[in-house]
Amino acid sequence: MQISTLSSEIAESLPFERVSFSHQFLIVGSVGLGIAMTIVGIWLGAETERAAVNRVTAVSAAYVESILAAQLRAVPEDALTTQAMHDALDHIFISGVLQRKIAAFKLWDAQGVVHYSSDDSLIGQRFPVDETLASAFSGTVQARIVAREQELATGGQDAGQRLLEIYVPIRISQSDKVVAVATFNHWTGNIDREISSSKLRSWALVAGVTLSIYLLLFGMVRRANGTILRQRDDLRSQLLRLSRGYEELEHMRRRLGEAGSATTALNEQFLQRVAADLHDGPAQTLAFSLMRFDELVTALSAGSGAKETSAPDVFRVREALRSSLEELRGIATGLGVAGIADLSLAETVDRAVRDFELQYGRTVEAHVESVGVETDLAVRITAYRIVQESLTNCGKHALAGALCVHVQQIAGYLNIEVADQGQGFDLHATPLNGRLGLAFMKERVRLLGGTFVLESTPGCGTRVAVKLPLTIKESIVV
């Protein structure tokens, strides 16, 4: 229990754990989707640029190849280096229609020798055959983006532009043999603008799709987080209820132990009182009767004065035995109530009042109202004991004054009130636990889930008020 509590405290102390699940997703998801969006955007940009270059390469290569094919259709292979051929190519690439579209032009042979160039200083020079040039001689059109060389700048062109370098295989005399490779550098101004526009649209599409996915996922996570929070609150409420229930069970267990101890102590005190009553009452009387009976037997056996002594002694023995019998009946009445199971609540209260009136010879003003509802036997027994013990205390201590018993049913509860106008007593000077009868009454009422109130003032009488539930199936408390 301590370990789990400590781990939960440590987890709650971490900054990230104090953030809700939806906010965690907001942070982690934005970073993750941002990285994914960047990767996809870069890849789409590269693919867009590659597609644009390939498209322009194909169109430009076909256009240039068609012009060169018309120019070199009937020219033999060794005529590529003649002055007439140079003049014809100058007319096309330097002063012709391709002047503003092509920044530079070269004509290579398979050994890397430049047979023609728009830059006269390069004619006749030999360069290493790189992979791109070799691939072009194998019959494949090649293209690549290169940085614009400063010497290629011409009037009206942006010195910061890049160049698209295209390698076009040249075939003459209706043959598939590649006799030369034409290399020309194409201005990329329009291509760059098209690529930039395509990249911008690609990035916008990727960003829109990513944002839509992110918002959709965030909405789902937020709703799930709400469910989790509600379930967590429900679990906390259930845990709180279980904890309170456990505390109540512990409290009830302690109260049960206390009630058991109190009941044991009260029973022991009650047994001691019964033993004292038997010893001081019927036992003494029976001992006196037995002693007088022995004297009577002795006198009768001696035959001396039997007639003079037998009659009074027999009368005294008879009275003593009768007194013992009455005392035993009184004690038995206090121990049990015969036939109470067959009585109603009103009859039970009336019997307790009549028993008191017969025993003490005093009149009780009894009022029993609205008690026609069927009640449990335990409630009737407790009501009898409350009225009996309260009236008995009145008979013993309230030697004068009126006695009143008031019983009524209100809202599922039975209210019992017994009052006298005797001398009363000081509750603080005489604790409740010091009076066995009052302690028994209070314990009986508490076990049935009722309330017990005792009011008394010296010189103003005593009042006992009890409130009991009519049914005790769910009302018994410990």
pLDDT tens column, 143-194 = 887 766 544 433 334 445 677 888 888 776 666 778 788 888 877 777 778 8
| CA-wise closest residue to 161 among 171, 146, 183, 174 | 146
Q: What pLDDT does 155 receive? A: 37
| Tokens of residue 95, six digits | 């002063």
pLDDT confidence of residue 415: 92
Q: Note the pLDDT of residue 405.
A: 92
User: What was the pLDDT predicted at 156?
Assistant: 38
Torsions phi, psi for 416 (to 5 deg): -120, 130
Predicted TM-score (pTM) of this structure = 0.44
Question: Which residues are within 8 A (CB) of 17 and not within 5 positions of it... i.e. 6 or more apart?
Answer: 11
Q: CATH topology for 340-469?
A: Heat Shock Protein 90 (3.30.565)
- 3-class DSSP state of 15: coil
Residue 150 is predicted with a pLDDT of: 40
What pLDDT score does 475 carry?
43
Mark the ranges of the chain whose per-residue pLDDT is less than 50: 1-14, 16, 150-159, 434, 474-478
| Residue extents of the structural domains in the chain | 21-150+158-198, 340-469
pLDDT at 104 (0 to 100): 79
Q: What letter represents residue 300's amino acid?
A: L
User: What pLDDT score does 476 carry?
Assistant: 43
Run of H or E including 424: none
What is the topology classification, in CATH, of domain 21-150+158-198? Beta-Lactamase (3.30.450)
